Structure 1
């Protein structure tokens, strides 16, 4: 199986599992910046790098002999992580050293253009971020230790990422059903 075929099959299965795990919530995996980021990241890596990452993420894959056999194991881990998040709000099933801040402290502008809410009957499918970002104001930069870890892990600058924790941000988060 070629790397591109593997990543396509894995992404399809991961998204389906995440969507199923989110079915009882107002969230959706469609356009998830975290999923999109990691699949884009690994599409630029060689197969040996991907295999090492898989073994780190799911050590139980160490005895697997084919790329196709990795998929159900990885999907099971993703499903468990999403199910835990829907019940507790905690991000689990992530290897040590991989930041989870992308999912909880802000979405880099290049990662996505829609707040990830499920469409409600009679409502728009997604909210454009531009007006929301304008209403938020300048925010605060990430703490230097957090920023450094994220930049190192993701290989990109987080200098433009801002944290918004004031009353306006809280009000907007409530209105948008964001966590």
Structure 2
């Protein structure tokens, strides 16, 4: 959760920044327009039932998607390995546990390149925090159509640091200095 909060704050700035043209073109190819992306981001975030984060992720060259994670969920596929192939409570008295841990076939190093079931390689670029503590005190519950998570998400959109999003996406190339 600490990483998700840090990522959330990295993606905003006091003034917001303009979106680089190269990033705009790539996002428009995935979402048809930046306005569609904005609307989908805001509506999806406000519709999330319970706390979590909504992520803009890059799943491949020019392939951008929105990914909701609930509670302290992670967009990183490596964070989702939960299965252990041997139940250490039922292996018996023969020392199977010791041999299991000594065996170099098992362990996190074995899984390099593998994805957990349902996992997909992607790169998180931007996230919106939908936990109540992020918006409730300042924006209220949204009674009578005033404030609430929807208003928070709309305001957040105007503070996005698009330069940082573009850097994380890899679409910005360093400028070469001329002699």
- Could you tell me the TM-score, scaled by structure 1's length? 0.24
Please give the TM-score of this superposition, normalised by the length of structure 2: 0.24
- Give 1 or 2: higher helix fraction: 1
Bigger proportion of residues as strand: 2
